[in-house]
Chain A
């Protein structure tokens, strides 16, 4: 590596004020207990940063260069996950102000606009991100199909993906009822009626979904519980499997 005309030895540098400050902040006992590797400025540290960080270790440490091209994936899977995280954050904030009873649900949502600072921003973000997630998940499925990424050995991960698509739709559908306005009530009525037309089991399934014969207080509390805890938990489990399998199946698909 060393070119011929460069000096053979490096001149020792003084620490200086900024260097000293840098060392105080990043090379102290506490910092290094949190981040084991140094700043990722060398290939070694860059790989260590990815491999030793719980959030980054979903990634491999190195990746084929075609997979970094935006047009290969359009980031759709990652964005779906990112939207899921964003929905969790905004959703938790919404839960502070929302009570799932037919007396309070509608007024709580309406009060977000007037009584809560940034309340409508929060609700709008939750709503648009939810629509966005349905879209990105659908588009992600199309991306995976058209790049042939479901082929062996990734068959099962495609199945997990289909389950996640269904869970995404269910998450969005259960959330649709919660504002308890006319749009919500009738969309859920129409939607659950569709299930009711199933042969043999239809009526019983709808009864269980609604907790009664029509969309009322029982349906609201069921949809709420599923929306804020049941379905997100199941989705998180399937996401963990989905991401794990990407790594286990050899990363993203490549031509043979």
Chain B
């Protein structure tokens, strides 16, 4: 190498003629042989294996499970775990943009032109694969509650309460709390002690119920109305957005005989007329379907990079991207395979031989 200037002026030395081969025959023949082999193998495969063709399309009969083509099953798998907009659109869009931007973020010349060209490339790749594999599989299991089901099947004990505290402690806790504690305590605390989230994050939305006495300040968004206590999840699942959907003033105002303020009445009709309930903030759903998945999807790669950095393997940006790309590829294939081979009727997580064959 000539004297390296710090800018991108590192110019490749002129190729030595002895290191070069003529494209004809050395490359063209290899390509030709590749093409012949591929044609032959596809002909043989096509002669032996028929492409699927089942019953004529019928919009009235929904097969169970209905699956997208295999290369989109990773997205379909994501859909089971989070908000559809996040899984089906935002995540793939962001990923594709980041993927396309890789060369603009990693501009160095390290590791160019050879397989795994940086000193720790292999270690980083293997480590990231293992991390991403167990991370993805672990999250899928955690969200399906299968680990708890298996535990209950094998030990015959209930997952909640007994796993973490033991039956005796749980009973004591129950008794003490229900007996003398403030009335927000049982649902709130027992759920935390029970670690119901260790079974399934959706439990935050569906199984975790507690309430706090707010002495009449309850806004009454939930089905219980203004009962004086703040109920989780009911009171948090339909928080109106003021102004935007018009539910705050007119609803609340009219319910209690108070007119909406003038400034509100003066707003144009099209603005106050926006009344879809979808615009209400559903805090438990946002927590479960947007925030927690985002935290994991952003947090795990950061954790991966942090761990590799602590180990001391990351020397350049190339190493960072090697790790992130590997994590992405492994997650992609894990999600695809789980979506294809482990999702049965109702998108239940099952072993591959229990996935029904769709042929009708």
A106 at the B interface (CB under 8 A):
yes
Cβ B38 vs Cβ A82 within 8 A: yes
Q: Which of these binds chain A: B108-116, B186-194, B233-241, B295-303?
A: B108-116
Are A86 and B113 CB-contacts (below 8 A) given A150-B103, A151-B106, A194-B76?
no
Please, which residues of chain B bring their CB within 8 A of the CB of A78?
31, 34
What residues of chain B lie closer than 8 Å to A181, measured between beta carbons?
A: 52-57
Q: Which residue of A lies closest to B83 (CB)?
A: A197
Verify A158–B100 contact, CB threshold 8 A. Answer: yes
| Alpha-carbon gap, A131 to B15, bound state (A) | 39
B128-144 CB contacts (< 8 Å) to partner A? none
Is there a chain B Cβ closer than 8 Å to A246's Cβ? no
Give min CB distance, A243 to chain B, whole Å. 13
Chain B residues within 8 Å of A40, by CB: 24-25
**B27, A59: Cβ atoms closer than 8 Å:** yes
Alpha-carbon gap, A180 to B109, bound state (A): 49
Q: Are A148 and B318 in contact (CB under 8 A)?
A: yes
Asked if B69 and A47 make an inter-chain contact with CB atoms under 8 angstroms apart, the answer reads: no
B residues near A121, Cβ cutoff 8 Å: 43, 46-47
Does chain B have a CB within 8 A of A228? Answer: no
Cβ of A120 under 8 Å from chain B: yes
- Determine if B26 and A254 form an interchain contact, defined as CB atoms under 8 angstroms apart: no
A68 vs B19: C-alpha distance in the bound complex, in angstroms?
11
Q: Separation in Å of the B111 CB from the closest CB of chain A?
A: 4
A46 with B24, Cβ < 8 A, contacts A124-B51, A132-B42 known: yes
Do residues B112 and A254 form an inter-chain contact, with CB atoms below 8 A?
yes
Q: Which of B74-112 contact A (CB under 8 A)?
A: 75-76, 79, 83-85, 87-90, 96, 99-100, 102-104, 106-112
Annotate A230-256 by CB proximity to B: 1 below 8 A, 0 otherwise.
Answer: 000000000000000000001011111
| CA A237 to CA B278, docked complex, whole Å | 43
Which A residue's beta carbon lies closest to that of B66? A186
Q: Are A183 and B28 in contact (CB under 8 A)?
A: no
Shortest Cβ distance from residue A118 to the other chain B in the assembled complex, whole angstroms? 10
Q: Mark each residue of chain B from 212 to 239: 1 if its CB lies under 8 Å from any CB of chain A, else 0.
A: 0000000000000000000000000000
Is the pair A198, B88 in contact by a Cβ cutoff of 8 Å? yes
Interface string of A19-47 (1 = CB under 8 A from B): 00000000000000000000010010011
B256 lies within 8 A of chain A by Cβ:
no
Contact B10 A154 (CB under 8 A): no
- B72 interface residue, CB < 8 Å from A? yes
List, in ascending order, chain A residues with CB within 8 A of B67's CB: 186-187, 190
Q: Which residues of B contact A148 (CB under 8 A)?
A: 110-114, 117, 318
In contact, A120 and B24 (Cβ under 8 angstroms): no
CB nearest neighbor in A for B333? A138
Residues of chain A within 8 A of B83, CB atoms compared? 197
Q: Is B345 interfacial (CB-CB < 8 Å)?
A: no
* B108: A residues at CB distance < 8 A: 151
Task: Judge whether B45 is part of the interface by a CB distance below 8 angstroms.
Answer: yes
Q: Is A208's beta carbon under 8 Å from chain B?
A: no
Given A59-B28, A128-B45, A190-B68, A43 and B22 contact (CB-CB distance below 8 Å)? yes
Residues on B with beta carbons closer than 8 Å to the beta carbon of A70:
30
A97 at the interface (CB under 8 A from B): no
Bound CA–CA A93/B83 (angstroms): 42
Query: Nearest Cβ in chain A — how far from B33, in angstroms?
Result: 9
**Given A158-B100, A186-B63, A194-B84, do A147 and B117 touch, yes or no (CB 8 Å)?**
yes
Chain A positions within 8 Å of B111 at CB level: 148, 151
Q: Is B5 an interface residue (CB 8 A)?
A: no
A135-171: contact bitstring with B at CB < 8 Å (1 yes, 0 no)? 0001000100111111110110011001100100100
Verify if B325 is at the interface (C-beta below 8 Å from A). Answer: yes
Q: Is the CB of A152 within 8 A of B8?
A: yes
Interface residue B172 (Cβ < 8 Å from any Cβ of A): no
Complex Cα distance, B270 from A182, in Å, reads 43
Say whether B8 contacts A173, CB under 8 Å. no
CB neighbours (8 Å) of B45 from chain A are 124, 128
A110-B53, A121-B46, A172-B69 are known contacts; what are 6 more A-B pairs with Cβ within 8 Å? Answer: A46-B25, A83-B38, A86-B39, A109-B53, A147-B114, A169-B71
Residues of A whose CB lies within 8 Å of any CB of B are 40, 43, 46-47, 49-50, 56, 59-65, 67-68, 70-72, 75, 78-79, 82-83, 86, 102, 106, 109-110, 120-121, 123-129, 131-132, 134, 138, 142, 145-152, 154-155, 158-159, 162-163, 166, 169, 172-173, 176, 179-187, 189-191, 193-195, 197-199, 202, 214-216, 250, 252-256
Q: List 18 A-B contacts (CB under 8 A).
A: A46-B24, A50-B23, A64-B20, A68-B26, A123-B51, A149-B112, A151-B103, A155-B107, A166-B96, A169-B72, A182-B360, A183-B54, A189-B66, A190-B67, A194-B84, A197-B89, A214-B59, A215-B59
Which residues does B use to contact A, with CB under 8 Å?
1, 8, 10, 12, 15, 19-28, 30-31, 34-35, 38-39, 42-43, 45-47, 49-59, 61-63, 66-72, 75-76, 79, 83-85, 87-90, 96, 99-100, 102-104, 106-117, 121, 125, 318, 322, 325, 329, 358, 360
